[in-house]
Amino acid sequence: MTALDDVLHPPVEPLRHGRLAVDARHTLHWETCGQADGLPALFLHGGPGGGISPTSRRFFDPARYHVVLFDQRGSGRSTPLGETQDNTTPLLIDDIEQLREHLGIERWLVFGGSWGSTLALAYAQAHPERCLGLVLRGIWLGTQAEIDWWLYGIRHFFPREWEAFASHLPPEERHDLLAGYRRRLQHPDPAVHRPAAQAWSRYEGACLTLRPDPATVEAFTEDRVALGLSRLEAHYFAHHAFLAPDQLLAGMPSIAHLPACIVHGRYDVICPVQQAFALADAWPGARLQVVTEAGHSSMEPGIAAALVAATDRFAAQGTF
C-alpha cells in the first residue's frame, strides 16, 4: 500500500510567518514556504475552522513554488479562536486580498479542498484577474442539500457514528440537529460547549476516510481543533455559507477561462462526488480526476498523489 510520505513533497519549514490584523476583532496567522521568487500559490484550508498544518506545505514543490498559507478567521492560530462574529464568506474573500497585497503578490494559483474549494471558487469569481488557475479537492458548493446531507444523510453509510453524533442532543431536539448544536457550541460555559464540539468533530473525523483511521478521529477531537471546526461549520451551515442559492455554479462564466484541476474521492461521503461532476460540467476546460480508492481526506494517498501531480504539472506547463 502506498504511504502518504511516498507521494507528498518532503517536509519544508516556513520562509516567513506573521500575523495580519484584518479588522478590530480578527488577526490572521500566515506563513510562506518554498522559493521567494517561485510561482505564487495560495493554500485554502477546509472546515470552515480547520486551519493549516505542516503537511499543508507538502502539496507543492518547494523548489518551484512560493506558497502562501493562512488560518482563516476563527481557525487554527488566528485569533480569536472559534469566533463567529464578523465571520462571513465575503469577509474571508476580503482577507485573502488583504494578505495578497500585504505580501506583494500580483497573481497566484489557488488551491483549496472541501470548504477550501468553496472559498477558492467564491474568491476566484470575485477576483478572476488575481488567479492563475485553481486546484480543487472534495468539492462543496454550499447548497442546502449538501448541508442536509452532512447533518442527516451520512447516517446511511455511517449509522453508528451518526447515532453518536445525534445522541449528544436529547430526543426532542434531534429533529433540528443544527439548532441544537449551535445553542451548545455558542454557550460560554466550557462544560457545555466543549463536549458538543468534540461530538461534532468526532462525527466528521470518523466519516472522513475510506478506511477507518483512529488517528484522524483523535486529531479532530483535540480541543482547539474541535472548537474552531464545530463552531464555524455550524455558523456557516446556518447561513448557507453566506452564498446565494446556486451562486458558485451560476458564477462559472467569470472563471471559465482559467485552467483547473478537480480531484475528488469516489467514496467521499462528507462531500458526495456528484458535486464534482456538476462543477466539471459547468467548466468544460477543467480536468476532473475521481480517485477510486478514497473518501474525503486529502491525507489519503490517492488524493494526495493526484493533488501533487496537479501542482507539479502546473509548475511545469502552466496548465493541467
Q: Which residues are catalytic?
A: 114, 268, 296
- Residue that is written with C-alpha cell 493533488 in the block: 307
Question: For residue 287, which phi and psi values (nearest 5 degrees)?
Answer: -100, 120
CA distances from 319 to 110, 142, 284 (A): 13, 27, 14
Spell out the alpha helix ranges (H) of the chain. 4-7, 89-103, 115-126, 144-152, 159-166, 177-185, 190-206, 214-220, 223-238, 247-250, 274-281, 301-317
CA distance 114 to 137: 6
Contact 49, 75 (CB under 8 A): yes
Q: Which of 276, 281, 272, 274 is nearest to 263 (CA)?
A: 276
Q: Please give the distance of CA 138 from its chain centroid, rounded to a whole number.
A: 8
The DSSP letter of residue 35 is -
- Name the percent of the chain in helix, strand, coil, to the closest 5: 45, 15, 35
**Bridge-partner residues for 287, per DSSP?**
261
Helix axes 223-238, 190-206, angle to 10 degrees: 80
User: What is the layout of strands, in order, in the sheet containing 39-44?
Assistant: 16-21, 27-34, 65-70, 39-44, 108-113, 131-137, 260-265, 287-291
Q: Are the C-beta atoms of residues 186 and 84 closer than 8 Å to each other?
A: yes
